[in-house]
Amino acid sequence: MAGTNGSTKEKIKKVSIVVSKGSLEGVYPGLIMANGARMEGIEANLFFTFFGMEAIMKKRMNNIKVATVGNPAMHIPSLLGIIPGMSAFATSQMSKEMDKLDIPPVPEFVEMVHDAGCNLYACKATVDMFHLTKDDFCEQVEEIINVGKFYEISGGGEIIFT
């Protein structure tokens, strides 16, 4: 692949994506990037840590919401963001727009990227900190790994933090 300056650039062969935020706008970028990677034949790994693990937890993955407080991209005063129902309303509006673009709900998207060959991992330190077990996660989670294992798996590829 030729670059704009005439140099030859090597195509990315592997990408590992860290998902650390549990809001709708925190989870979807990782899923979309992993799906895009697999569609391009690129090896993809998703590493869920801290609140990003909401997307792979059986009890929570169906209830991911838009963050309305502390989110400057919402373009609403923070005071409005704390009004009861505001997050649910924003989530509903965003879900309608995503439906128009055929972007699947989180559980279906997680299954889809896994079926496409993406590997999903949960962060061991976070699992321990939140007192979770493998049973708390959806079946698509390959294993619970520490950061060292994540780096080993990611070796030779690009790491993206969403």
Q: What is the DSSP string of 75-88?
A: -S-HHHHTSTTHHH
In this predicted structure, what is the pLDDT of residue 75?
57
DSSP state of 51: G
The beta strand positions in 5-56, using DSSP E, are 14-19, 43-48
In this predicted structure, what is the pLDDT of residue 83?
56
122 beta partners: 48, 144
**15-161, superfamily in CATH?**
DsrEFH-like (3.40.1260.10)
What 3-state DSSP class applies to 19?
strand
Domain boundaries, the chain: 15-161
In this predicted structure, what is the pLDDT of residue 2?
47
pTM for this predicted structure: 0.81
CB 42 within 8 A of CB 12: yes
In this predicted structure, what is the pLDDT of residue 103?
78
120 beta partners: 46, 141
Task: Please list the rounded mean pLDDT of every run of 10 residues in the chain (162 residues).
Answer: 58 96 90 97 98 95 72 57 61 66 88 97 98 97 97 96 90
